[in-house]
Structure 1
């Protein structure tokens, strides 16, 4: 009963994991390799051959006259190898060499894992690298994960401050508007997460963090609005219609363009405006925190579209059409909620004498100009001529987002 390897299971039975030791001993041997197995468990003589049959190994029994603790010799078969016949790797584990179009059979298998043949074909309609990818996605995800903040501890909720009733009302109105916008900004990426092939997991992870960002923003803006016991402000029909056009967009590139490049890009300018003109430390802090997150969202949107522009010569035509289509859909709406515009003037004015109000009004107009200039810069980066970028920016919704 010669053997290449000998193992003693002691009192360990197959009902408590003995197969792991036998399996480990066999793993280093070629087919035909021999493992002598000994042990004292009473059921070993029954369980060992049953396990071997299930795995395609052969058992040789010793002469009972010479048997002491030796139960059997296991001869390694090929069934363990056959089990993985036809198996394939689900691409490389790292994103450096992603497949341009991973097959449906990779489905929910971990990227880089050895996939046993068979199993379901999980189909994801966003399964083309050029439809979703940006080389910066892994870096942005790592940055986003490291910079998550806790609404409870990152904001000075207990700071003492008192605002005049009309200023507090202006803050509440602006916070109400911000909650609505962030609610739409949460829904848009959430709708695409389940459609992206898991092979492009860094994009999925990044969008998941983006959803978490927007959830936090909704929380802190709502909490600030209610901090002094007020009810939320007004919600305009035109504003909701503008946001609905974002949620209704089913094309990933166009949704990213309308939300991140145009909408959230302008939203960053709005949050910066509020940081400068916030009348209290809580408002200033939550707007600053949200602004850092929103900048990251814009960076990914731009990087994704810049990548796609290199492989899709018709992309700019599609982006142009999306702007016109949205403009036409909102042509009969009033645009920005007048209560929001007035609230921004109040916050920027800082007082009620005519000169203060005039200055506040000028600040809001300057904000709108800064938003327009920012949109134009981003459109030029995507390959539009400056004159066309100016014309397209002018068609952007008056609701900012």
Structure 2
């Protein structure tokens, strides 16, 4: 403790045990040039005290015989003060404290921390709030964190059901297709995640949970595909070409637009279709759970692009250009894997008869119409006129995602 005479008695505590914390605390309230007497029973006290003071910009004055047991006097220097003289707060910890364009040398510092000047440059290239932000991001992350689910407990993998071989093959084919698309939906937020300045932590958290969601979807779709011991279905070149165009979109907003607003938005309709036409309880459970997660991904994409469009109406031109660019690169591809289309018809038909197959075919046509309607609604919400929204939706890939 510090005495009234300005002496700190460290007793038996040595610097290797944390004595510097007490010295540091005692010096905190002194002005530069003021002295603090230090004493203690540790035999190495003066050696360690001298080294610590040199490192922190303080001087040590040896005590005189008349100093009544004080071993040394520490003269507070100004180096510690100068070290933080140019320091600034990294905004505030709450979303309201976000700085629009944080410096790159803030690096991984916590938002709201007192940042010492200097430090290494960081590789984050998405460094402006409006390039990634949506006001709904903190609430969506809170929802996502509380809504995580365990595939082992949320899906009844031991449910008793029997399907005809051709129906089981249809389920496996659709699951194979879903996995392929979910892998793209995992890679894209993971790539973006590494580029966003950590100051926008709610967006980082949301992207991280989104990637975790997709990883879980890949797991449950794979487990359902292999549940009855069969082999995985087919993967078409056109399907992989369509997904590859998503991976090459470098701009955060346009990647979010193509993946979440258009692609995953269409997948909401597909997952609802599979929930409605699932031939077994496990297929129904995994598609229903996945749809709940995908709805959050779409909500963030729509909110972010709406935020962008309000700030800069020109962003709609970039959205149109992204759709047209993707369409042109895929115009010569075959579209949706025929095996996937046929499997959807089989699942919707429910039985093998001409009338049932016709009913299944009509259901898939209706699904595609519902996807188109959903895309148009989201595009109108983003500020596109209805006729332009219809044109852009029609250019969307026939591969759904």
Aligned counterpart, 1:243: 243
**Mapping 1:216-365, distance limit 5 Å:** 216-365=216-365
Residue in 2 that maps onto 1:82: 82
Kept in 2, the 8 Å contact 1:3–1:35? The answer is no
The SS at the match of 2:200 is: helix
Output the CA distance in 2 between the equivalents of 1:251 and 1:66: 69
Contact kept, 8 Å, 1:4 with 1:33, in 2: the verdict is no
**Cross-structure match for 2:144:** 144
Give the equivalent residue in structure 2 for 1:121: 121
- CA displacement 1:30-65 (0-9 Å, x = unmatched): 334443322111111222223223222233444326
Once superposed, what is the RMSD of the aligned Cα atoms? 1.8
Q: CA deviation at 1:185?
A: 0.7
Question: Is the 8 Å Cα contact of residues 3 and 36 (structure 1) preserved in structure 2?
Answer: no
Q: Indicate conservation of the 8 Å contact 2:141/2:205, yes or no.
A: yes
**Deviation of residue 97 (structure 1)?**
3.3
- Per-residue deviation at 1:315? 1.0
Cα distance in 1 between the residues matched to 2:67 and 2:119:
47
Residues 90 and 99 in structure 2, CA contact (< 8 A), matched pair in contact too: no
- The answer (yes or no) to whether the contact 1:3–1:34 under 8 Å persists in 2 is no
1:56 is aligned to 57
Distance 1:307 1:77 in 2: 50
1:22 aligned to 2:35? no
- Partner of 2:392: helix, strand, or coil? helix
Cross-structure match for 2:104: 104
Residue 183 of structure 1 contacts residue 214 of structure 1 at CA under 8 Å; is this kept in 2?
yes
Q: Which residue of 2 is the match for residue 391 of structure 1?
A: 391
Change (3 A) 1:64 1:39: same
Q: Secondary structure at the match of 1:23?
A: helix
What is the CA–CA distance in structure 1 between the aligned matches of 2:394 and 2:45, rounded to whole Å?
81
Give 5+ residue unaligned stretches, structure 2.
none
For the 8 Å contact 2:238–2:335, the answer to whether it is kept is: yes
Q: Tell me how far 1:123 sits from its aligned partner.
A: 4.3
Per the alignment, in what secondary structure is the counterpart of residue 199 of structure 1? coil
Residue 207 (structure 2) pairs with residue 207 (structure 1): yes
Give 1:283 shift: 0.8
Q: Tell me the secondary structure at the aligned position of residue 196 of structure 2.
A: coil
CA distance in 1: counterparts of 2:215 and 2:173, whole angstroms: 19
Question: Taking structure 1 as the reference length, what is the TM-score of the superposition?
Answer: 0.95
How many residues are aligned here? 400
SS at structure 1 position matched to 2:72:
strand
Q: Is the 8 A contact 2:87 2:114 kept in 1?
A: yes
Q: 2: distance between equivalents of 1:323 and 1:231?
A: 35
Q: Which moved more, 1:301-310 or 1:72-81?
A: 72-81
Greater CA deviation, 295-304 or 322-331? Answer: 322-331
Residue 13 (1) aligns with residue 14 (2)? yes
